[in-house]
Amino acid sequence: MGLKMKIRLPKGYPYLYETHLHTSQGSACAVDTGKRMAETCKAAGYTGIIVTDHNWGGNTAVNRYLPWKEWVGQFAEGYEDAKRAGDEVGLDVFFGYEAGYRGTEFLIYGVDKEFMLAHEELRTATVEQQYRLIHEAGGMVVHAHPFREEYYIPEIRLYPEYVDAVEGINATHSNRKSKAHNDKSFDDKAIDYAGRQKLPMTAGSDIHRTDLFGGGMAFSRKLESIQDFIRAVLDGEDYLLTNGEFWFTKDGQKIGEAAADDR
């Protein structure tokens, strides 16, 4: 059973969204189901979550050699489980996924299960082709944890021309509760990179279980949809980033401690 927490949000930003979350149905590295993740995030004070399970190019929990229709159907089960639970408890649950390309990973927002079913070419798409396909569908590509160093990442690859934003804050890098990938310099480099490339930043916990970090993005208003989230990021709307311990401006400047009550 995960440690229960209640996030205290900063004045003026009462709507917190987890943008990087995995479920055991879709990600082999995750521990808890979509239902449990949704219920726990609601209890902690999140307004919404985006389920971003690993696709066939990453640590997927689904047999990547299944026929395409069957693969997509099983892959979406984590999101669908979370969505049902979210509807019951009053948590917004949006669809996304984490695309892997030889160890480099991207958060894909703004497409859905039906889009994936209609585009089997995603399975063999290059980074450039992926960007085109997602853009044609009105989606957004974010470079996830671009400077993380791990055994499964053979080299740091940067694609500023084929992403719309950078995950500047990944809570697994800098939250004291994290037991993996814990190196704050990964975030420092991502923030610097995003600034130099003039790319907007996102933040997420990269959470795999109900022991939440409290990371994500806080807005002054409630987001209506995943497309609303994309517009907010790309149009330069005001929001805050957090790793669950500190708050940052959307440009990555630390502005204060993030408070949470552990219970």
For every residue of the chain, which 3-state class applies, written as one string? CCCCEEEECCCCCCEEEEEEECCCCCECCCCCCHHHHHHHHHHHCCCEEEEEEECCCCCECCCCCCCHHHHHHHHCHHHHHHHHHHHHHCCEEEEEEEEEECCEEEEEECCCHHHHHCCHHHHHCCHHHHHHHHHHCCCEEEECCCCCCCCCCCCCCCCHHHCCEEEEEEHHHHCCCCCCCCCHHHHHHHHHHHHHHCCCEEEECCECCCCCCCCEEEECCCCCCHHHHHHHHHCCCCEEEECCCEEEECCCCEEEECEEEEC
Q: What pLDDT sits at residue 260?
A: 75
Q: What pLDDT sits at residue 1?
A: 42
* Average pLDDT in the chain: 95
Has residue 188 got a pLDDT over 90? yes
Has residue 3 got a pLDDT over 90? no
Per residue in 129-181, pLDDT (tens digit) is 999 999 999 999 999 999 999 988 999 999 999 999 999 999 999 999 998 88
Per residue in 25-39, pLDDT (tens digit) is 999 999 999 999 999
| Averaged pLDDT for residues 193-221 | 97
| Averaged pLDDT for residues 238-263 | 90
Q: What pLDDT sits at residue 259?
A: 72
Cα–Cα distance measured from residue 149 to residue 167, given in angstroms and rounded to the nearest whole number: 15
Choice among 55-59, 78-82, 255-259 with the minimum mean pLDDT: 255-259
